[in-house]
């Protein structure tokens, strides 16, 4: 009986975390560049239940018993979000569709909604994702898909959080006094132009080969603890990544699916809660009523 109570309790904890993840997605539905997070649940290892001391066979196998469920991990989906036109010269959106060839067949890999593909050998391959490179106030390089930038009085191109936007050489982008933001133009490759002339500055766009290694830092910014493990590299000319000026990338959260997931988590939580109440009443009878007989 107590084992069933623990199983129901683990289910409640799992659904609570799932509920928190969905509400986080809904809260960021209007956050530029936000990437949806999905909770992945997994059952605890099954236990083999046997009857010990059987008079005929000594030990008789009854069957397998599952001991509950837990949230194994939260997987972000780096799928492309819809572009929203702003008309501001300092707003940029990345349109990324980087293809990866299957080493066995040489054909482009078909990724799932999480940007993941599992080969026949069990190898997991992730779709590479492109990000703007920025630098925080402590001089650390960070990555973001939020391209809503602005130019401060010193001519520095910065994010809304005050981070410096980097160029392809890893330097802060600083516009000269004769390069006002109104005259700024950017081609699909991220090359900056002012008054129709190139100014030898290219937006710093980094490709993260294994985006599952990214860690959310908040405000749409990601950090990487091990750049080599994440496979961070510069954008190559032949890769399908384009910069759209005057647009920002919206969140890739599906509000309809999020509401379905929210209701499902709530119903599952209530079901497990009722099971705990049932076990509580059963234990109450066993202790207070049957014990008197």
The per-residue pLDDT for range 37-87, each reduced to its tens digit, is 888 777 766 666 666 655 555 566 666 666 677 676 678 888 889 999 998
Residue 134's Cβ-count burial label (10 Å; 0-12, 13-18, 19+) is: buried
Distance, in Å, from the CA atom of 31 to the CA atom of 28, rounded to the nearest integer, reads 5
Specify whether the CB–CB gap between 190 and 180 falls below 8 A. no
DSSP 163: P
pLDDT tens digit string along 95-140? 988 888 877 777 888 887 777 788 777 777 888 999 999 999 899 9
Global pTM? 0.81
Residue carrying structure tokens 């066979």: 57
Report whether pLDDT(218) > 60. Answer: yes
Residue with tokens 């940007």: 115
* Predicted local distance difference test score (pLDDT) of residue 143: 96
At residue 60, the pLDDT reads 65
Structure tokens belonging to residue 33: 């560049």
pLDDT at 277: 87
Output the pLDDT for position 63.
65
What residues contact residue 146 under an 8 Å CB cut-off, 6+ apart? 31, 32, 33, 132, 159, 160, 219, 220, 221, 248, 249
What are the helix (H) ranges across the chain? 2-27, 227-230, 255-288
């Amino acid at each position: 009986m107590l084992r069933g109570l623990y199983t129901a309790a683990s289910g409640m904890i799992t659904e609570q975390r799932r509920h928190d993840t969905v509400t986080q997605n809904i809260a960021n539905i209007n956050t530029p560049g936000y990437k949806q997070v999905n909770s992945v649940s997994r059952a605890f290892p099954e236990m083999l239940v046997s009857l010990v001391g059987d008079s005929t066979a000594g030990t008789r196998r009854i069957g397998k018993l599952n001991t509950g469920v837990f949230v194994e991990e939260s997987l972000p989906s780096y799928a492309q979000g819809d572009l929203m036109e702003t008309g501001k010269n300092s707003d940029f959106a990345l349109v990324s569709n980087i293809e990866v060839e299957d080493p066995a067949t040489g054909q482009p890999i078909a990724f799932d909604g999480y940007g993941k593909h599992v080969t026949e050998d069990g190898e997991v391959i992730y779709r590479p994702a492109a990000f703007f490179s920025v630098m925080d106030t402590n001089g650390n390089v960070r990555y973001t898909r939020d391209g809503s930038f602005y130019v401060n009085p010193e001519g520095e191109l910065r994010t809304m959080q005050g981070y410096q936007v980097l160029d392809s050489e890893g330097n802060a982008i600083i516009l000269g006094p004769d390069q006002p933001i109104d005259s700024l133009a950017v081609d699909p490759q991220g090359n900056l132009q002012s008054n129709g002339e190139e100014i030898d500055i290219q937006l710093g766009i980094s490709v993260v080969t294994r985006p599952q290694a990214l860690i959310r830092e908040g405000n749409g910014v990601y950090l990487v603890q091990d750049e080599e493990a994440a496979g961070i590299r510069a954008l190559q000319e032949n890769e399908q990544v384009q910069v759209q000026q005057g647009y920002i990338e919206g969140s890739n959260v599906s509000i309809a699916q999020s509401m379905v997931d929210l209701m499902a988590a709530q119903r599952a939580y209530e079901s497990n809660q009722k099971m705990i109440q049932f076990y509580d009443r059963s234990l109450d009878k066993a202790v207070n009523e049957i014990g008197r007989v």
